[in-house]
Amino acid sequence: MIANTSDFLATVPLFRGLDRDELARFGDLVRERAYPKGSVILFQDDPGDSLFILRTGRVKVVLIGEDGREVILGVLEPGAHFGELALIDDQPRSAHVIAMEDAQLLILRREDFRRRVDANPSVAWALLQELSHRLRRADEKIGGLVLLDVPGRIARLLVDLAEESGGPAIDKVLTHQTIAQMIGASRETVSRSMKEFQESGLIRVERRRIAIADKEALEKRAQVRV
């Protein structure tokens, strides 16, 4: 199991730059846990003491308002990780994480991670690089939410997801409701915009899978209009 886990960790951005021996050490430290669809993996404000790495399945990172409205901060696929801030500070969790389907996760405790950092500082550098990347993406997302209209936000989201997937097709299966919760809009408005994008030839939708048909036009729609 350790060898298989090590091979998997080599695909995770946080661990990708580590050598085989270091990956094997981390493979020996993580423990695996299953979460059924719909279960809450983390609650907002829970104490944070571990990093979670998604091995199989999908999860969503959400904030829930006092009125019960759910805002999706991200939909994570295998190879993604969350809770990395807990490796640095002792602050509580900043959001809920919920399994969208049956999921297998690897869990790494803060104490174990810190021992590996003490032994190999390159591990800390990899974490800093990953946090820097996430902060830049968060800044871009906040800017889009503030400055773009709803169709512009959808266009920006679709372009970003296609780039993450490495091609015109978006790997993640997204309902209109999920998109609405990710950009802070109503499902009805999202449905109208998606229909407009399809009719204009910007996107294709087949069997609930979205593909970018005209990237240049979609990127233009994702720009701030003045």
Kindly indicate whether the domain formed by 2-131 is annotated with CATH number 2.60.120.10. Answer: yes
What's the whole-model pTM score?
A: 0.70
Closest CA to 109 of 45, 28, 176: 28
Q: What string of pLDDT tens digits covers the 226 residues of the chain?
A: 444 898 999 888 888 778 889 899 999 999 999 999 999 999 988 888 899 999 999 999 998 877 778 888 888 989 888 988 887 887 888 889 999 999 999 999 999 988 888 888 877 787 777 777 777 776 666 666 667 889 999 998 999 888 888 888 898 888 899 999 888 889 999 999 999 999 999 999 987 789 999 999 999 998 855 4
With contact defined as beta carbons under 8 Å apart, do 80 and 8 qualify? Answer: no
pLDDT for position 2: 40
Q: What is the distance between the alpha carbons of residues 30 and 154, in angstroms, rounded to a whole number?
A: 37
Closest CA to 56 of 118, 94, 4: 4
With contact defined as beta carbons under 8 Å apart, do 68 and 74 qualify? Answer: no
pLDDT for position 127: 75
Kindly indicate whether the domain formed by 141-221 is annotated with CATH number 1.10.10.10. Answer: yes
For the chain, the structural domain boundaries read 2-131, 141-221
**C-alpha angle with apex 57: 83 to 33, nearest 5 degrees?**
60
